[in-house]
Structure 1
Amino acid sequence: MINPQLRKPSEKSLLKFLDVQRGLDFTYPGVGATAPGGEFPAGYAVDRTSIALGNGREVFAAARRGIEAWSQFDLGWCEAWPRSTPFRPGEVVAVAARSMGMWWACAARIVYVVDETSGQGDAEAMKFGFAYGTLPGHVERGEELFLVEWSRATDAVAYRILAFSRPRHPLARLGRPLVRRLQRRFREDSAAAMLRWVQHAGSALRA
């Protein structure tokens, strides 16, 4: 974790931060447990969020582009960096967020990518997304999955978040109720950001 500061971390400081984190290990057991059939480690809080984005292939395509653009982090008070991070296992990303009047930056590594969009995999749905897990430069321990899914049976497109976590940094342990509220706010705001992205994409297509 970059020490909390009044100003948003600069790109230079985030680059140095990720250079260090890139060579470090995950900080939690059960790496990959957010995947189907995974078993969450004991003692971790599990959170799920889902929002309907609309219906049809075009909505799913727009939602996929949103994930690829990291738009689910476009929250004003939170963002992912760098936005050019490739979607493949092993890539590291920093999440900078403002809380209690300070900016905090935490590091995570992509664990796996879901890309069931070419007719393979689950025949009942098309899916796209990824999961990342915490590194030592993070106030929490755990993993989070961001997924968009188009059900062929219902034509509905949904955005889902699945996460398990527990505090790692002493401040996160002491302020656990505040951290939990912040996590809930992130999931709700992230869902709203994806819905805005898809609605904007739809408006652009109709224009």
Structure 2
Amino acid sequence: MGVRLLPPGQVARLRAQQLTYAEVGASEHDPPRGYRVLHRTRTLPRNADFAAAAHDLAHWQVQRRAGLRVAASDPEARPGAVVVLGLLGVKAPCRVISVIDEPDRRGFVYGTLPGHPECGEEAFLLERGADGRVRFTIRAFSRPAGLPARLAGPLGHWAQDVIIRRYLTALG
């Protein structure tokens, strides 16, 4: 199961929608109050290839390897790209709001669009340290976007935690 490209009409509709939260970009700094905050880091194995991991991250492989269906406007995460992630009949549309492209830091941030069960954003960041080790960090803040997600309560948190753990093991 690879990454499917979204039809142009759906891409246009998703790009025209507003993000479902006001604190755009906050996952790269201090998370806002009133949200569930996650910050997880994994150091990849010593033989991890930074360039290969960055390529896979940018091409939606983290989400795909975590078991999600991935349909995107672009084969690569770039500012303005939209993606619809799917699992067990639940669809989660997002838009990339920023990309990090530095010699030793690569990644992107996406935010939720209407129809996503949560509202908030996730940042995916690879960093190569001075020691050559590659660290993969995910920072997220979210809260339920509607009644079904609020009713899920702890089950929703558990599902989010499982997906984050799967993301972290998708590289390296």
Query: Which TM-score band (shorter chain)?
Result: 0.7 to 0.9
5 Å matches for 1:112-127? 112-117=98-103, 126-127=104-105
Give the letter for the 1:20 counterpart: R
Structure 2 CA distance for aligned equivalents of residues 72 and 128 of structure 1: 13
1:76 CA drift (Å): 6.2
Structure 2 CA distance for aligned equivalents of residues 77 and 54 of structure 1: 22
* 2:83 aligned residue: 93
Give the letter for the 1:88 counterpart: R
Structure 2 CA distance for aligned equivalents of residues 64 and 163 of structure 1: 19
1:55 CA drift (Å): 3.5
Moved more, 108-117 or 186-195: 186-195
Structure 1 CA distance for aligned equivalents of residues 165 and 56 of structure 2: 16
Query: In structure 1, the residue corresponding to 2:171 is in which secondary structure?
Result: helix
Change (3 A) 1:62 1:77: closer
Q: Alignment identity in percent?
A: 33
Structure 2 CA distance for aligned equivalents of residues 65 and 142 of structure 1: 25
User: Residue 67 of structure 1 contacts residue 129 of structure 1 at CA under 8 Å; is this kept in 2?
Assistant: yes
Q: Structure 2: which 5+ runs fail to align?
A: none
* 1:166 aligned residue: 143
Taking structure 2 as the reference length, what is the TM-score of the superposition?
0.88
Aligned length: 168
1:104 CA drift (Å): 1.1
2:154 aligned with 1:177: yes
Which aligned segments of 4 or more residues in structure 1 are displaced greater than 4 angstroms?
none
1:18 CA drift (Å): 4.2
User: After superposition, what is the alpha-carbon deviation per residue over 1:5-34, rounded to whole angstroms, capped at 9, x for unaligned?
Assistant: xxxxxx69x645544222111111210011
1:83 CA drift (Å): 7.6
5 Å matches for 1:192-203? 192-195=169-172
5 Å matches for 1:23-38? 23-35=16-28, 38=29
Structure 2 CA distance for aligned equivalents of residues 33 and 54 of structure 1: 29
User: Residue 73 of structure 2 contacts residue 82 of structure 2 at CA under 8 Å; is this kept in 1?
Assistant: no
User: Residue 20 of structure 2 contacts residue 114 of structure 2 at CA under 8 Å; is this kept in 1?
Assistant: yes
Structure 2 CA distance for aligned equivalents of residues 69 and 86 of structure 1: 5
Change (3 A) 1:44 1:94: same
Structure with the greater alpha carbon radius of gyration: 1
Q: Structure 1: which 5+ runs fail to align?
A: 1-10, 118-125, 196-207
RMSD: 2.1
